[in-house]
Amino acid sequence: MTSDRSPQPSAAGQQRAEDPGISMAAAGGDQERMVAGRLRDTIASQFGRSLHIRTLDTGSCAVCEQEIRLLAAPHYDLHRLGFFFTPAPRHADLLMVTGPAIRAFDVAARKAYDAIPGPKIVIATGACALGGVYPADAFTHSAVDAIFPVDVWVPGCPPSPLALLQGLLVAVNRLAEKSAAMSFIADDPAEGVPG
Amino acid sequence: MSALTWCYVAAAGWALAAALALLGGRLAGLRACCLVSALAGAAAVAGGVSSLLWGNSRIASLGGAVVVGTAQLQATSLAGVFIALLGLIAVALALYAPRYHRASPGSALYLAVCNLAMLAALAVFTAGNVVTFLVAWESVALLCYLLILRHPRRTEVASGAFWFLALSETGFVFIVAAFVILATKAHSMQFAVIAAHAHLVTPGWRDAAFLLALTGFGFKAGLVPLHVWLPEAHPVAPADGSAFLSGLVVKLGAYGIVLFAFRLLPPAPAWVGVLTMAAGAVTAALGILYALNERDLKRFLAFSTIENTGIIVVSFGAAMVFGAYGQRELWAFLLLAGLYHVANHGTYKTLLFLEAGVVERTTGTRDMDRLGGLIHRLPRSTVITLAGTLGIAALPPLNGFVSEWLIFQGLFQGFRTGSHLVGILIVLAAATLGLTGGLAIYAFVRGFGIPFLGMPRTRQAASATEHGQPVAGPGLLAAACVALAVGAPLVLLALSRAVRTVTGVPLRPVLLPGNLTVIPAHTAFSAFSPTYLAVFLVAVMVVPLLIYLAGRPRADSVTVPVWDGGMVAFKPRMQYSAMTFSAPTRVTFDAVYRPRVSLRRASDDPAGRSGPVHYETEVTPLFQRYLYRPVIRAVEWVADAVQPLQSGDVNLYLFYVFVVILLAYLLGAL
Amino acid sequence: MPLWFLRGLRRGVVTTHYPARPDPSAAGLPTPPAFSPLHLDRRIADHLCGICPSRALRREDDMLIFDVGCCTACGRCRDAAPEAVTVSGEFELAATGRASLVKHIPLFREAQA
């Protein structure tokens, strides 16, 4: 909840060098990420308390969608944090993408992304969207940053609504990012990762 | 020059124009005819306006034939609006005709008939006695029949023209009956004398005369269920013929109702006014409901004319109700509002029909579902049509809004009648008008959006071009729409003078010239300024735009395609069609429409692989099926029953002659 | 008054206070594994890389590369080597850079030897 972290401009993007389907996202990846960092600060200051989210399913199994839908339920209630779902990309500030970016969906996904007026944030949620589960082949790009630049990655299969909330709050600079400091090394008391 | 003199000039002009069309060469005759016709129209406008401003003209008597008596002409204030409208329409049609009609003998004859029809309509409006009126009325009917029959070999044209003539003649019978009652009671054919002696007519005859007149003129005006000729005749007539029919000929019916209600007869009892108002309300609602179901542009506009006739008749009916309860200001005010709506509707409906003609000429079709995207192909026509559409949908700041607002303001004061029942009925009429207003906006969003916006649905729509299409005529009418709205104070000034001549009620609080505000009848009720509204609406649109343009951030903007749901290829067939756009009304109002759906599929495969599916939906034509067809069948039955009298045997006919002569002697002896 | 309204009033507020306070339901969530370098060697690492259905594990020389982003928390690696793999319990995994989700775990036994 405190913004005591400095935004990390990512290093030259973890591109899958072997992925044949790289598109414009890779070419401008570096620059876009740094710009995205600045934009996120802008967005956080202007939209941090009222953000409209447009979900985009690029071919998922829809379990991520179920978790996203739970966000609006009384237990998690994303509205109390100032987030709203909107079906119209023109009204959206943030694009929440799930699914392994199947190639048949390229045009529609790009159109949805283009239809969102800037400044905009893209969150990739779920293992599929991050490049897991399905390898890049003739049917999928695997990671969604092959289609458009991604600002925040939320792992999980599916990511629980709490993880999604954390991802959203990180996206608008209201929570500090924690995963960079995690080492996932079990018997390492110095790092504080629970065993 | 007095109003009547202007009318003479106009009449002479139209007669000359008709002669020029017939006798002149092909192209030169056409052009000369249109030029003279336009000048005559201008003269008619002058005549109408001067009779509005300076009151009734003198009564002129012409001729003196023994059998029918003299013809009497008078340009009254009441007819002033109608005459001015006739002139404006004539000018617009004259500007439209050269580019619309090819120079051919058929066109020459058509234009001659058109000008003679205008002459006859002028005669109806300036008629001063019963015979002149009836002769002129019949001339208009016959000439309009010829007008519709421009292409007589096509079956649908012949059928449409026949519907017009048949209903026109039926109405004529009722009109004659009404006039005969009044003329007999007053022992004179002259309108002035009839009006003076009206108070002597017993209430039974008086109301009977009015109801007969309402029915007879209702046939021409298009009151439900007497409206059936409108959707049949309008699509098959040429565009300027349809424009003339809807813009003016329908107003002849309105003029007749106004003549009887406000000039020839004393204030009627409340129930007569309520009946008129109810007829108007039902007409308005049903008119727009059926309009929503039409794909043919001209049929759609014809039903919209029926709706507007309903609005006009509601206004006159409510005026009669207020008159019956002694509310003289509201009596005069609703007459004024109705006349204003007459002028407005004449203007924008003529415009819309002329533009429908342009669309039909450039794309070859009137079917909305075959059009689309015409805004890119016909930009000027689109702008002009938009002006007409905003007018007819009664959206501020155009003229339709002003006149409908005035009518509503009059109706909202129904509580002043003092009678609870009548007050509720007036409120119901206002509610019905509200419903029709909402449905009219819906209908004209559809009527403008489907053909003009979006993507072209067929190749013809994609290849339409504006080159060589008439623009001046409709453009003049669009300018008139704007003028009637922005110049509303002036129009109301002129109309209030006319209304004072007719009703004797001053209506001075109508207008405060200082701040161009309009106050309907009673100062404490409401007020608004059409002029300021127009200026304000334009400012509200323009000023923020200017602020944005001046102060917008210098950031680069990105142009992306319209969001279409992410479709890979958006095809024109994926757009709304006219019938799907109006589908919600078919569900909501299915008691009125009684739609019949027929669905045929080759097999019942639930996955839909069975082959083509045939889906047909039809709205039941209630009036044709349940009113006209039985009447027609009854007439045919009677004709069949009487058939044996015409055996063809000469001896039988001689026997008939003998019997009749015998009867004549017997009756003479008694 | 509809019954669900009365039931809801009786139940009270069920909304979580996350992020102001931790949410108790987070305790039962499936989470990515944590690896213990002490129990990892090349053979175990290769076996784990083979059974991961989501290609989250990769061995490079003496380093086990674990891509948290690809992990589906299926638990197969933990079932295969329970002494080397435990549940991490971390679910707040959002990252602004994809690279920061790729974790390097040294294979201790090999490093030792």
Residue C25 belongs to some domain of the structure = no
Residues in chain C: 113
The answer to whether the CB atoms of C88 and A194 lie below 8 A apart is: yes
Rounded distance between C-alpha atoms, residue B214 and residue B177, angstroms: 11
Residues in chain B: 670
| Residues spanned by the domain of C108 | 30-112
Rounded distance between C-alpha atoms, residue B424 and residue B417, angstroms: 10
Rounded distance between C-alpha atoms, residue B519 and residue C69, angstroms: 72
- Of B223, B247, B243, the closest CA to residue B306 belongs to B223
Nearest CA in chain A to C87: A195
Domain endpoint, select from B549, B580, B597: B549
Find the Cα–Cα–Cα–Cα dihedral B422, B423, B426, B431, rounded to 10°.
-140
Report helix angle B26-54 to B3-23, nearest 10.
170
Residue with tokens 């209702």: B218
Structure tokens at A143: 């990671």
Beta bridge partners of A51: A83
Size of interface A-B (CB pairs under 8 A): 21
pLDDT at C111: 53
pLDDT at B223: 93
Among A162-166, B162-166, B531-535, B579-583, whose mean pLDDT is lowest?
Answer: B531-535
Residue B648 shares a structural domain with residue B503: no
Which residues of A are less than 8 Å from B570 in CB distance? none
Which residues of A are less than 8 Å from B567 in CB distance? 108
The answer to whether the CB atoms of C67 and A179 lie below 8 A apart is: no
Among B60-69, B137-146, B532-541, C93-102, whose mean pLDDT is lowest?
Answer: B60-69
Rounded distance between C-alpha atoms, residue B298 and residue B290, angstroms: 13
Tell me the pLDDT of chain C averaged across its residues. 89
pLDDT at A21: 31
The answer to whether the CB atoms of B561 and A109 lie below 8 A apart is: no
Which residues of A are less than 8 Å from C38 in CB distance? 187
Domain count, chain B: 2
| More confident position, A12 or A142 | A142
- Of B245, B445, B446, the closest CA to residue B353 belongs to B245
Rounded to a whole number, what is the distance in Å from the CA of A99 to chain B's nearest CA? Answer: 16
Residue B634 shares a structural domain with residue B509: no
pLDDT at A97: 97
Rounded distance between C-alpha atoms, residue A169 and residue A152, angstroms: 10
pLDDT at A28: 42
Rounded to a whole number, what is the distance in Å from the CA of A75 to chain B's nearest CA? Answer: 31
- pLDDT tier, A22 (very low <50, low <70, confident <90, very high otherwise): very low
| Residues spanned by the domain of B629 | 623-669
Rounded distance between C-alpha atoms, residue B79 and residue B272, angstroms: 23
Backbone angles phi, psi at B373, to 5 degrees: 70, 20
- pLDDT for C84-108, tens place per residue? 999 998 899 999 999 999 999 988 7
Rounded to a whole number, what is the distance in Å from the CA of A25 to chain C's nearest CA? Answer: 14
Residue C3 belongs to some domain of the structure = no
The answer to whether the CB atoms of A111 and B561 lie below 8 A apart is: yes
Rounded distance between C-alpha atoms, residue B540 and residue B542, angstroms: 6
The CATH number of the domain holding residue C57 is 3.30.70.3270
Rounded distance between C-alpha atoms, residue A96 and residue A113, angstroms: 10
A37, A150, A163 member nearest C91 (Cβ): A163
Does residue C8 sit in helix, strand or coil? helix
- Whether the CB-CB separation of B464 and B375 falls below 8 Å is answered with no
Residue B537 belongs to some domain of the structure = yes
Residue C47 belongs to some domain of the structure = yes
Q: Could you tell me the residue ranges of all domains in chain A?
A: 24-172
Rounded to a whole number, what is the distance in Å from the CA of A109 to chain B's nearest CA? Answer: 7
- pLDDT tier, A3 (very low <50, low <70, confident <90, very high otherwise): very low
- pLDDT for B1-21, tens place per residue? 788 889 999 999 999 999 998
Would you say residue A60 has pLDDT above 50? yes
Residue A60: partners with Cβ closer than 8 Å, 6 or more residues away: A98, A99, A100, A126, A128, A129
Nearest CA in chain B to A89: B563
Rounded distance between C-alpha atoms, residue B13 and residue B478, angstroms: 25
Would you say residue A107 has pLDDT above 70? yes
Question: What mean pLDDT is predicted for residues A180-189?
Answer: 80
Nearest CA in chain C to A167: C94
Do A and C have ≥3 inter-chain CB pairs under 8 A?
yes
pLDDT at A19: 33
Residue B296 shares a structural domain with residue B428: yes
Cis status, amide bond into C19, omega within 30 of 0: yes
- pLDDT tier, A20 (very low <50, low <70, confident <90, very high otherwise): very low
| More confident position, B665 or A15 | B665
pLDDT at B304: 96
Residue B287 shares a structural domain with residue B418: yes
Question: What mean pLDDT is predicted for residues B565-572?
Answer: 84
Residue C13 belongs to some domain of the structure = no
Rounded distance between C-alpha atoms, residue B348 and residue B392, angstroms: 6
Nearest CA in chain B to A112: B566
Which residues of C are less than 8 Å from A174 in CB distance? 19
pLDDT at B503: 80
pLDDT above 90: percentage of residues in chain B: 57
Does residue B374 sit in helix, strand or coil? helix
Question: What mean pLDDT is predicted for residues C19-44?
Answer: 89
The architecture CATH gives domain A24-172? 3-Layer(aba) Sandwich (3.40)
Q: How many CB atoms lie within 10 A of CB A88?
A: 11
Please give the ipTM for the structure prediction: 0.88
Question: What mean pLDDT is predicted for residues B316-324?
Answer: 93
pLDDT at B520: 59
- pLDDT tier, B565 (very low <50, low <70, confident <90, very high otherwise): confident
Does residue B569 sit in helix, strand or coil? coil
pLDDT at B106: 86
Task: Determine the residue among C36, C71, C98 to mutate to test chain A binding: the one whose Cβ has the most chain A Cβ atoms within 10 Å.
Answer: C98
Most confident of A29-33, B172-176, B526-530, C80-84: B172-176
- pLDDT for B497-513, tens place per residue? 888 888 877 766 455 54
Question: What mean pLDDT is predicted for residues A175-195?
Answer: 73
Which residues of A are less than 8 Å from C76 in CB distance? none
Which residues of C are less than 8 Å from A180 in CB distance? 95, 97, 100
Residue B395 shares a structural domain with residue B481: yes
Question: What mean pLDDT is predicted for residues C71-77?
Answer: 93
pLDDT at B239: 93
- pLDDT tier, B301 (very low <50, low <70, confident <90, very high otherwise): very high
Nearest CA in chain A to B558: A117
Residue C64 belongs to some domain of the structure = yes
- pLDDT tier, B217 (very low <50, low <70, confident <90, very high otherwise): very high
Would you say residue B333 has pLDDT above 80? yes
The answer to whether the CB atoms of C54 and A127 lie below 8 A apart is: yes
pLDDT at B263: 87
pLDDT at B24: 77
Rounded distance between C-alpha atoms, residue B219 and residue B118, angstroms: 20
Most confident of A145-159, B24-38, C11-25: A145-159
Question: What mean pLDDT is predicted for residues B546-552?
Answer: 81
- Whether the CB-CB separation of B145 and B241 falls below 8 Å is answered with no
Do B and C have ≥3 inter-chain CB pairs under 8 A?
no
Would you say residue B468 has pLDDT above 90? no
pLDDT at B73: 87
Rounded distance between C-alpha atoms, residue B387 and residue B391, angstroms: 6
Structure tokens at B521: 């009848």
Would you say residue A35 has pLDDT above 70? no
DSSP letter string, C57-111: EEEETTEEEEEGGG-----HHHHH-TTTEEE-------BSSGGGGEEEEE-HHHH
Rounded distance between C-alpha atoms, residue B284 and residue B291, angstroms: 11
Residue C56 belongs to some domain of the structure = yes
Residue C71 belongs to some domain of the structure = yes
pLDDT at B649: 87
Does residue C49 sit in helix, strand or coil? helix
- pLDDT tier, B477 (very low <50, low <70, confident <90, very high otherwise): very high
- pLDDT for A126-179, tens place per residue? 999 999 899 999 999 999 999 999 999 999 999 999 999 999 999 988 888 999
- pLDDT for B128-182, tens place per residue? 889 999 999 999 999 999 999 998 888 889 999 999 999 999 999 999 999 999 9
pLDDT at A2: 36
Which residues of A are less than 8 Å from C100 in CB distance? 8, 10, 177, 179-180
- Whether the CB-CB separation of B29 and B17 falls below 8 Å is answered with no
Domain endpoint, select from B521, B549, B577: B549
Rounded to a whole number, what is the distance in Å from the CA of A55 to chain C's nearest CA? Answer: 17
Does residue B461 sit in helix, strand or coil? helix
Residues 66-85 of chain A with CB under 8 A from chain C are 74-77, 80
The secondary structure element, H or E, covering residue A94 is strand A94-98
Tally of CA atoms within 13 A in the half-sphere of B185 that contains its CB: 23
Residue C6 belongs to some domain of the structure = no
Which residues of B are less than 8 Å from A112 in CB distance? 566
Q: Is B370 left (phi over 0), alpha (psi -120 to 50) or beta?
A: alpha
Domain count, chain C: 1
